[in-house]
Structure 1
Amino acid sequence: MKNITLSVVQADGTKTNLETVADSNKSLMELLVENDFDVLATCGGMALCGTCCIDIINSNSSLPEPQNEELDMLETLPHATEHSRLSCQLKLNSAIDGLSFSLNSDN
């Protein structure tokens, strides 16, 4: 399987590069939790809580559009912007290779 690389910027400005195997059965949220990033993920990846919200800094053009469930949840979050996504809804596949994002400090 192909590897993908992601860049995480934490609230204090620390940047961490993560390299992982592309796996469409696994979400970005799961990778963040496994690597001990401060992501609550209260609902376990069902797009019901918004506690895994991230802000996209830079992505390639193939990043998938959010589905209605994700958009509905993002609309309820006071800290969400047009660049916000739920990390539980982004699969670890080639579409997110090179993604740079910040952890939303309001989660």
Structure 2
Amino acid sequence: MPQKIVGPHLLSDIVAMWQSLPLPSEYKNGNNILLEENFYILEEEPLQTDKLVLNLIRNYRTSKGKKITELSLELWYKRRMSAKVVLTMMTEVDWNEGLFNNYEQNG
């Protein structure tokens, strides 16, 4: 069943959705510091989603050796992307492309 996203906390609710994906616990917020988030709302409210997709954009290190990861969280509804959030995080763990092979969530 599609999930409707409405209300005054729309943007923070979208950002938090990646936490609902079945990622190992070391990839959850306790090990990441959110540095930047960019929202792309492609449909009018209420947003609906029947699929979440988390993609790795890139990893890099700062000049001081801090690990930085950029991810995109896509919200899909009926085979159309309804919203996208690009997250930049300082992290303690290594993210890799292999991690994302199974991190789509339907429903």
TM-score by length of 1: 0.27
Which is higher, the Rg of structure 1 or of structure 2?
A: 2
Structure with the larger RCO, 1 or 2 (CA within 8 Å, 6+ apart): 1
| Larger strand proportion of the pair | 2
Q: Give the TM-score of the pair, scaled to structure 2.
A: 0.27
